[in-house]
Homo-oligomer: A and B are copies of this chain.
Amino acid sequence: MQIALNELAKLIGLECDSTLVIENLATLKEATPKSLSFFHDAKYIDDLKDTKAAAVILKEEYLDHLPEGVVALVTDEPYKKMALATKLFAYKPSTDTFEPQLGEGSTISENAYCGKGVVIGKNSTIMAGVFLGDGVSIGDNTIIYPNVTIYHGCKVGSNVTIHSGTVIGSDGFGFVSKDHSNTKFYQIGNVVIEDSVEIGANCTIDRATLGSTVIKSNVKLDNLIQIGHNCEIGDYSVIVSQVGLSGSTIVGKGVVIGGQCGTAGHLKIGDRAMLAARTGVTKSLEGGKIYGGFPAVEIKLWRKMQAALMRLVKSSKPKA
């Protein structure tokens, strides 16, 4: 997609006289001179100062931080205006199916369906009921079990196993809620699954809003896990069943997350941290420690809290 900036601005209700050509939407950090970006959260101010974007949607008060030569699209609602822009770049799903490009030794069930430009490496197995969207790539020695869905543009590495019913690349949950309306922020990014990852059954891994949701090499995911948009799971990490990671959760290397844990979004879990089952993470956690409880604390403290509560009950028994 190519669109002149002035034309794009008009379509989202803004004004701009630049005729620069925009080819994609991107975060401030990942933007190129062909990108439109946006600034809506003060914590990304450094990204604003360094952006290579052609243009940025932002509030007037931040104009001074914009690098020289970058075009400003000024508005009081940068997030909502960017949401409107995403609609212009949104993927249009198609029901057409095509033959994939299949590497030596690979087999694909005649009852699996591929979009346009699907590429499968060597010695991989794609079973019945699998759907691979437009432009999906699959590496070597990878097994995709029945009824898995991989949306357009997602990348799966080599020696990967994905169990049945798992959905890779569905839309991240992004809506601008205001005055009784929920405006969709179309999800332009994708999911990248690196080598030697195993993903259990009926998981959901959302595509990134912009950029990529990344599952790094050797990560092992159990069943029914939710990975939000723009999450990043570090190498060798292990996540047990029914965990939910909110958008932009960054998990380090060698982290172990017990069953039914959850995280609030936009936080980091340090390398080799361990989370006991059902831990609820509300802020970033240092690596190398063991956590439990909700809100998450070091597990020793959580155990003391439980013990203190038990003593309290016993000491107050006479009153009951």
* Chain A contacts to B: CB under 8 angstroms: 93-95, 97, 107-113, 125-129, 131, 143, 145-147, 149, 151, 161, 163-167, 170-171, 173, 175, 177, 180-182, 184, 198, 200-204, 206, 218, 220, 222-224, 226, 228, 235-236, 238, 240-242, 244, 246, 254, 256, 259-260, 262, 264, 277-278, 280, 294-295, 301, 304-306, 308-313, 316, 320
Contacts and interface: CB of A to CB of B under 8 A. Distances in A.
B128 A95 contact: yes
A93 B127 contact: yes
Contacts of A184: 198
A260 B151 CA distance: 25
Given A131-B127, A277-B280, A312-B308, A164 B167 contact: yes
Is chain A's interface secondary structure helix, strand, loop, or mixed overall? loop
Nearest to A131: B146
B109 A95 contact: yes
Given A113-B111, A202-B167, A304-B313, A149 B147 contact: yes
A167 B163 CA distance: 9
Contact of A204 (B131, B201, B278): B201
A280 B280 contact: no
Copies of this chain present: 3
Contacts of A203: 202
B93 A125 contact: yes
B244 A259 contact: yes
A262 B264 contact: no
A316 B228 CA distance: 39
A95 B108 contact: yes
Contacts of A244: 224, 241-242, 259-260
Contacts of A146: 113, 131, 149
Nearest to A177: B238
Nearest to A304: B313
Contacts of A143: 93
A290 to B, nearest CB: 15
A147 B131 contact: yes
Nearest to A143: B93
Contact of A95 (B126, B206, B236): B126
A223 B175 contact: no
A165 B149 contact: yes
